[in-house]
Structure formats: C-alpha cells, structure tokens
C-alpha cells in the first residue's frame, strides 16, 4: 500500500488529481509559519492518502501535472520498498536507503527553489 501526503496549497488553481483507488486517511490545516518562506502561506492544508502499490506511476504523473512550479513545492509517497518524490513536471523514485537516489531528488528540489529545511522527507 502506498502512503503519502500532499499540501493542498501546492496545487495549481484548477488542478484536480483524480486517481482511482486513492483514499484520504487524514486532512487538516496547521500553522507552519515557523517553517515557511516569504512566498509560501503561513497555514497549510495537509492531506494524507493511501492507494494500492499498482497506482504509483499514475499517481506520480497526476501529481507532477498538478503541482505548482513555484517555490519547489513537492508531494511524496512511500511503499514498503520505495519512496516517490514528485515536483511539478518531474518525479523521482528510489529504493528506501538509496542515498544516491535520495540525493538526486534533493538536488533537484534545491534547483527549483525548495527551501533547504523542507527537503526533510527522509526514507
């Protein structure tokens, strides 16, 4: 089972992510003003989800098409063995524990403006 999170503020206006079998497991709004940058809102809407492993590619493609390219927004999800990190127009998929795969995603995040302290998705 895939499990992940998206920040609703990271979606382009008018974007809909429609992937069969995705189930919302939790959602809420939180003050994150201590960890945002000037161009990001101080309150974020978190949406946690899960989906069957077989939906990973479809979900990554849908998120890559829906995310804002500004500020390095990303969404991520994990399976038992893999981690998928998705930016606008680009997805990274690597095995858990693969330091080189993780670093490739982190380097890309830096290149598109993801604040350093937000590159903390871990494995």
Confidence of residue 121 (pLDDT cuts 50, 70, 90): confident
Residue-wise pLDDT for 65-92, tens only, equals 999 999 899 999 999 999 999 999 999 9
A 10 A CB-CB count for 92 gives 20
123, pLDDT greater than 80: no
CA distance 60 to 114: 18
Residue 96 burial (CB count, 10 A): 14
pLDDT for position 18 = 94
76 burial type by CB count under 10 A (0-12 exposed, 13-18 middle, 19+ buried): buried
pTM for the structure as a whole: 0.93
What token pair was written down for 102?
């993780």
Q: Is 75 helix (H, G, I), strand (E, B) or coil?
A: strand
pLDDT tens-digit series, residues 6-44: 999 999 999 999 999 999 999 999 999 887 778 888 999
Q: Where are the domains of the chain?
A: 2-115
């Amino acid at each position: 089972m895939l499990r992940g999170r998206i920040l609703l503020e990271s979606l382009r206006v008018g974007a809909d992510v429609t992937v069969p079998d995705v189930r919302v497991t939790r959602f809420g709004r939180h003050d994150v003003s201590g960890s945002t940058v000037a161009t990001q809102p101080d309150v974020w809407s978190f949406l946690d989800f899960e989906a069957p492993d077989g939906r990973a590619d479809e979900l990554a493609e849908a998120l890559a098409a829906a995310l804002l390219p500004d500020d390095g927004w990303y969404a991520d999800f994990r399976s038992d063995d893999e981690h998928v990190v998705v930016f606008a127009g680009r997805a990274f998929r690597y095995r858990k524990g693969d330091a080189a795969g993780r670093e490739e995603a982190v380097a890309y995040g830096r290149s598109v403006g993801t604040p350093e302290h937000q590159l903390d998705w871990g494995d």
